[in-house]
């Protein structure tokens, strides 16, 4: 199987089997062996469970050959073939890695046609127990050798099947279409070996650099006859982009997030490797004229950053130092070519090929140097987000060929946000599309224009000078701002208009005059007017002061406080974006308008004056489960949308320091429990937004406490994904233990305070054991042998303080002792040796106060607050948690039960 073959292989092109003519391959007997010697055959089948892994491996290899050759050409009955295929699927999950590797290699020996017609008979890639599903599971096998074979084989299968998927073959799509998602799930393992394997698989099998050939020579047609492809019939950029779009379209949300995360790192790696090459030039192969110590220190720092993201850091470090000592200027130039955003794909591909050949031929290069350098080039290279790909992506977004238009728009938006450097050359073409698609009062724009506007808006924020400012384009933007549909079109048009034009205030005033004059619900583009008002609140605050009263009247009196949709017993609790009705959308834009007006306030005194009414409104929505009125009743799907929006807006406001102070500890707790909302879409969207802001360092560190409330999350993959993210952030934010550790270690006291005031808190022993699950989730995500003593010290410090939120409460002392018990049991289970922490640790003043006197401190220290019997129960909780963690690591997450700790989900919501 060659995933880089062009044209892609089609099933109909496979030759039909013919009668064998070679005497050596012709069966001596036409009779089935299984029928002639049933006892021997059954004994052979029984060897699949032999106690020797060597025999099981040999059996698996033989089974693969029997299925592939249809028993040497004699043929297999449907029942016999099903039995053998089931045996092969079983061996893909064998306890011994040698057997699993043999099974993967057996599958790898099949051609595309045989996979689609024989192995696929046991089920598609998502059907548990099928050959394809078991093979996909090997891409996250606990043994690296199996992972390599498994991920390589399954990715080759999809690469070869991509032609049939592109052609719309529903059978092949159903069988194999989910393979890329299964591959990119491995990203969440957060393992450096897996990440490097993903790099290779992505650019060698899923999206091979050599696909399609840069020049199409004598392509063979279905009859095997050679035909010369002309420039008109063959465009490598279009073919490559089509495969890219088919790959992205096939990804589910979780896998797509991983794919885009892999592409988003390109800019960071490009900057670091550019620095590395500069320092290599200064190092000059070890011969320096001056500043030798400083040059070595800087080169060392860059190398350490790079090798921290590779599997074998010691070997990788030695390889990179060897590369620096080689001082190959041509190699430097080739690497820069692969990363340059202005280079076309052909240049990038040739540079990668030449670099690989050059390193392989270099006499002084160590054997593993290329193995170290290629993943770095894949990560830093302009491969997916390439100058050559953009015109083809634009064309797909325009003509929606093969139904790839929406995916093309999605990719354009990612490029404009993540890597706008390569977007500059195509932005004029996008603007021309908008001019052609501009709406009028009587003519609507096409839906694709909204995504084009979104891409242009993201680009305009970063490079306003590169956006055209000619009259036709400005008029088109004004038209979208007034008549765009859906209303998001107006939002993006206003963003471009205000970000790039010289007459910003004039345009803003004209639009506001139009939007506020005789505004009536349900008439004359009323949603577009609300979206326009909302965005101008953010981008033109000085002009907004002139329209404050009419805007407040529209958003509050005419929208938020009105109830036009009558609830029904058949209402769903949640609807997708496309199904949101007009009233809910109007309230969404009105809430955003009020918050946007607040976001532009920079003066702390003004912020303190203007923020309370807005915060009261948002927190009321959260407290009342999305209900705004005390008397009227709101449909369920409105309430779920409004409470999610309120949570998002509170997060957005907290990215500004002046407004974060407005979120009191009590209000913070109410916001945090959105992570335990009854509806999964609300929980997931809230956590996604929270994680995004935290990764960008836009939120204070206290917000890291919220994801730990997912300890009882019933959606297994969501919980596993959150746990992986927390572990990754714990490593990224890790600080010296002697200096108080990193941000997540310091979160433990905040978590104890939050749990002490959580609506589900109960001092009953059984309920405290449920609470211990939260602490165990924290410890498994954050604790190491090095920082265990630090975490224990934080728990002790909580017991030495008084609850600042409720001085009479003893809940924090109970939980502090519970945390110490969990830490001790975890230490024993892991076989660690806790080192006592001797440093001083600060505590959050808004949560913890000093003891009133020494006597109170002494009494608290001597008293045992944890009920009798709880510590013994903690040992069982830790044992089960460790066991579940191991199972989750091997299976991608285990389903959580809805225990008491997740009771908040079961309350009346939606």
> Does 807 or 736 have the greater pLDDT score?
807
Strand 219-220 and strand 226-227: the pairing is antiparallel
Task: Give the range with max mean pLDDT: 367-376, 733-742, 873-882.
Answer: 367-376
What confidence score (pLDDT) does residue 501 get? 83
Whether 205 has a pLDDT exceeding 50, the answer reads: yes
Scanning 385-447, the segments in alpha helix (DSSP H) are 389-399, 405-418, 427-437
Number of H helices, E strands in the chain: 42, 4
Helix then strand then coil, % of the chain, to nearest 5: 70, 0, 30
pLDDT range class, residue 892, cuts 50, 70, 90 = very low
What confidence score (pLDDT) does residue 26 get? 60
Look up tokens 């060392």; give the residue: 300
CA-wise closest residue to 500 among 427, 448, 568, 558: 427
Largest Cα–Cα distance of the chain, in whole Å?
99
Whether 814 has a pLDDT exceeding 70, the answer reads: yes
CA-wise closest residue to 482 among 438, 426, 446: 438
* SS3 state of residue 496: helix
What confidence score (pLDDT) does residue 525 get? 93
What confidence score (pLDDT) does residue 18 get? 54
Angle between helices 636-654 and 582-599 in degrees, nearest 10: 10
Looking at the domain that runs over 11-190, which CATH code has it been given? Answer: 1.25.10
- Between the alpha carbon of residue 774 and those of residues 712, 750, 751, 759, 825, the distances in Å are 8, 13, 9, 14, 15
The pLDDT of 773-786, averaged and rounded, is 94
Instruction: Tell me the percentage of the chain whose pLDDT exceeds 70.
Output: 92
Instruction: Tell me the percentage of the chain whose pLDDT exceeds 90.
Output: 64
The pLDDT of 124-144, averaged and rounded, is 92
Query: Which neighbouring-strand residues pair with 616?
Result: none
Is-contact 626 639, C-beta < 8 A?
A: yes
CB-based contacts of 681, cutoff 8 Å, min separation 6: 574, 640, 644
Averaged pLDDT of the chain? 88
571-609 pLDDT tens trace = 899 999 889 999 999 999 999 999 999 999 888 888 888
Q: How far apart are alpha carbons 635 and 639 in whole angstroms? A: 6
153-181 pLDDT tens trace = 999 999 999 999 999 999 999 999 999 99
Task: Give the range with max mean pLDDT: 254-258, 584-588, 634-638.
Answer: 584-588
* SS3 state of residue 848: strand
Look up tokens 């000093």; give the residue: 850
Residue 164 CB neighbour total at 10 angstroms = 23
Whether 219 has a pLDDT exceeding 50, the answer reads: no
Positive or negative, the CA dihedral 293, 299, 300, 302 is positive
Please measure the distance between the N-terminal and C-terminal CA atoms of the chain and give it in whole angstroms. 51
The pLDDT of 213-233, averaged and rounded, is 49
42-61 pLDDT tens trace = 888 888 888 999 999 999 99
Q: How far apart are alpha carbons 687 and 231 in whole angstroms? A: 49
Comparing 39-53, 568-582, 638-652, 840-854, which segment has the lowest mean pLDDT? 39-53
Whether 227 has a pLDDT exceeding 70, the answer reads: no
pLDDT range class, residue 232, cuts 50, 70, 90 = low
The pLDDT of 298-322, averaged and rounded, is 93
380-398 pLDDT tens trace = 999 999 989 999 998 998 8
What confidence score (pLDDT) does residue 42 get? 82
The pLDDT of 61-75, averaged and rounded, is 83
pLDDT range class, residue 81, cuts 50, 70, 90 = confident
Positive or negative, the CA dihedral 169, 175, 179, 180 is positive
Whether 230 has a pLDDT exceeding 60, the answer reads: no
What confidence score (pLDDT) does residue 840 get? 86
Tokens linked to 713: 């999350």
Tokens linked to 824: 């001790």
Whether 136 has a pLDDT exceeding 90, the answer reads: yes
pLDDT range class, residue 222, cuts 50, 70, 90 = very low
pLDDT range class, residue 633, cuts 50, 70, 90 = confident
What confidence score (pLDDT) does residue 897 get? 44
464-490 pLDDT tens trace = 988 998 999 999 999 999 999 999 999
Whether 229 has a pLDDT exceeding 90, the answer reads: no
Q: How far apart are alpha carbons 651 and 699 in whole angstroms? A: 8
Tokens linked to 387: 């100058």
What confidence score (pLDDT) does residue 736 get? 72
What confidence score (pLDDT) does residue 217 get? 47
The pLDDT of 405-412, averaged and rounded, is 91
What confidence score (pLDDT) does residue 485 get? 93
The pLDDT of 90-100, averaged and rounded, is 93
Comparing 72-81, 271-280, 457-466, which segment has the lowest mean pLDDT? 72-81
> 0.85 cut: is pTM over it?
no
The pLDDT of 543-562, averaged and rounded, is 92
pLDDT range class, residue 131, cuts 50, 70, 90 = very high
Residue count of the chain, please give it. Answer: 910
Whether 228 has a pLDDT exceeding 60, the answer reads: no
Whether 740 has a pLDDT exceeding 60, the answer reads: no
What is the DSSP annotation of 773-797? Answer: HHHHHHHHHH--TTTHHHHHHHHHH
Angle between helices 471-483 and 504-516 in degrees, nearest 10: 30
The pLDDT of 796-825, averaged and rounded, is 95
What confidence score (pLDDT) does residue 812 get? 96
pLDDT range class, residue 231, cuts 50, 70, 90 = very low
Positive or negative, the CA dihedral 796, 802, 805, 810 is positive
Q: How far apart are alpha carbons 109 and 560 in whole angstroms? A: 64
The pLDDT of 287-314, averaged and rounded, is 91
Q: How far apart are alpha carbons 434 and 238 in whole angstroms? A: 22
Q: How far apart are alpha carbons 872 and 802 in whole angstroms? A: 27
Q: How far apart are alpha carbons 626 and 638 in whole angstroms? A: 7
Whether 781 has a pLDDT exceeding 70, the answer reads: yes
> Does 542 or 31 have the greater pLDDT score?
542
């Amino acid at each position: 199987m060659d995933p880089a073959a062009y044209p892609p292989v089609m099933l109909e092109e496979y030759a039909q089997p013919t009668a064998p003519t070679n005497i050596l391959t012709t069966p001596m007997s036409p009779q089935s062996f299984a029928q002639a010697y049933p006892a021997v055959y059954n004994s052979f089948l029984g060897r699949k469970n032999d106690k020797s892994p060597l025999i099981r491996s040999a059996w698996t290899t033989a089974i693969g050959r029997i299925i592939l050759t249809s028993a040497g050409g004699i043929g297999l009955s449907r029942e016999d073939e099903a039995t053998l295929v089931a045996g092969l699927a079983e061996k893909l999950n064998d306890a011994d890695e040698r057997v699993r590797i043999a099974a993967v290699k057996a599958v790898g020996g099949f051609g595309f046609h045989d996979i689609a017609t024989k192995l696929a008979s046991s089920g598609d890639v998502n059907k548990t127990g099928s050959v394809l599903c078991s093979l996909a599971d090997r891409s996250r096998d606990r043994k690296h050798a199996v992972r390599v074979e498994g991920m390589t084989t399954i990715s080759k299968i999809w690469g070869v099947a991509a032609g049939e998927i592109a052609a719309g073959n529903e059978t092949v799509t159903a069988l194999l279409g989910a393979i890329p998602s299964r591959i990119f799930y491995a990203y969440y393992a957060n393992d450096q070996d897996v990440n490097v394997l993903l790099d290779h698989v992505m650019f060698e099998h899923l999206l091979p650099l050599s696909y399609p050939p840069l020049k199409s020579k004598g392509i063979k047609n279905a009859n095997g006859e050679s035909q010369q492809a002309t420039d008109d019939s063959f465009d490598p950029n279009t073919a490559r982009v089509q495969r890219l779009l088919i790959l992205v379209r096939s990804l589910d949300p979780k896998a797509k997030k991983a794919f885009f995360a892999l592409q988003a790192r390109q800019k960071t790696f490009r900057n670091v490797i550019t620095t590395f090459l500069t320092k290599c030039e200064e190092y000059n192969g070890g011969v320096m004229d001056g500043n030798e110590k400083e040059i070595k220190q800087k080169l060392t720092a860059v190398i350490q950053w790079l090798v921290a993201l590779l599997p074998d850091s010691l070997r990788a470090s030695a390889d990179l130092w060897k590369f620096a000592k080689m001082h190959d200027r041509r190699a430097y130039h080739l690497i820069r070519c692969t990363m340059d955003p202005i280079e076309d794909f052909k240049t990038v591909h040739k540079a990668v090929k030449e670099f690989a050949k050059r390193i392989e031929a270099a006499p002084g290069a160590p054997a593993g140097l290329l193995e170290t350098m290629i993943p770095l080039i894949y990560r830093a290279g302009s491969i997916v987000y390439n100058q050559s790909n953009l015109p083809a992506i634009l064309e797909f977004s325009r003509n929606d060929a093969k139904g790839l238009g929406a995916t093309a728009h999605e990719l354009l938006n990612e490029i404009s946000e993540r890597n706008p450097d390569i977007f500059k050359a195509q932005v004029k073409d996008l603007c021309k599309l908008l001019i052609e698609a501009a709406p009028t009062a009587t003519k609507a724009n096409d839906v694709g224009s909204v995504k084009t506007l979104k891409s242009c808006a993201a680009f305009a924020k970063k490079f306003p000078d590169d956006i055209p400012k000619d009259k036709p384009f400005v008029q088109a933007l004004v038209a979208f701002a007034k008549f765009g549909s859906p209303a998001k079109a107006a939002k993006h048009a206003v963003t471009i208009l205000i970000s790039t034009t010289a007459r910003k205030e004039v345009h803003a005033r004209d639009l506001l005059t139009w939007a506020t004059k005789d505004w009536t619900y349900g008439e004359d583009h009323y949603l577009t007017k609300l979206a326009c008002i909302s965005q101008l609140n953010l981008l033109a605050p000085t002009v907004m002061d002139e329209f404050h009263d009419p805007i407040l009247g529209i958003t509050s009196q005419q929208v938020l406080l009105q109830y036009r949709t009558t609830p029904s017993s058949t209402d769903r609790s949640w609807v997708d974006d496309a199904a949101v009705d007009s009233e809910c959308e109007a309230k969404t834009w009105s809430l955003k308008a009020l918050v946007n007006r607040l976001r532009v306030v920079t003066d702390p005194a003004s912020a303190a004056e203007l923020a309370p009414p807005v915060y009261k409104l948002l927190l009321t929505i959260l407290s009342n489960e999305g209900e705004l009125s005390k008397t009227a009743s709101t449909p369920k799907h409105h309430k779920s949308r409004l409470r999610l929006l309120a949570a998002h807006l509170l997060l957005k406001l907290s990215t500004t320091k002046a407004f974060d102070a407005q979120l009191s500890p009590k209000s913070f707790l109410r916001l945090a429990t959105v992570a335990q909302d009854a509806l999964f879409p609300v929980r997931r969207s809230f956590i996604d937004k929270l994680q995004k802001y935290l990764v960008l360092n836009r939120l204070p560190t206290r917000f890291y406490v919220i994801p730990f409330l997912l300890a009882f999350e019933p959606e297994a993959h969501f919980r596993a994904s959150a746990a992986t993210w927390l572990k990754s952030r714990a490593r990224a934010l890790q600080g010296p233990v002697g200096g108080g550790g990193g941000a997540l270690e310091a979160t433990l006291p905040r978590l104890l305070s939050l749990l002490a005031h959580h609506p589900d808190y109960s001092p009953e022993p059984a309920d405290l054991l449920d609470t211990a699950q939260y602490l165990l989730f924290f410890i498994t995500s954050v604790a190491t042998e090095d920082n265990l003593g630090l975490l224990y010290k934080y728990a002790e410090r909580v017991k030495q303080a008084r609850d600042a939120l409720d001085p009479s409460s003893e809940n924090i002392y109970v939980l502090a002792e519970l945390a110490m018990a969990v830490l001790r049991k975890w230490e024993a289970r892991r076989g660690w040796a806790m080192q006592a922490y001797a440093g001083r640790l600060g505590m959050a003043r808004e949560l913890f106060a000093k003891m009133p006197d020494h006597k109170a401190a002494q009494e608290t220290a001597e008293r045992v607050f944890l009920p009798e019997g709880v510590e013994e129960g903690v040992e069982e909780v830790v044992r089960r948690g460790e066991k579940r963690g191991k199972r989750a690591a091997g299976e991608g997450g285990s389903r959580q039960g809805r225990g008491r700790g997740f009771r908040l989900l079961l309350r009346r919501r939606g």
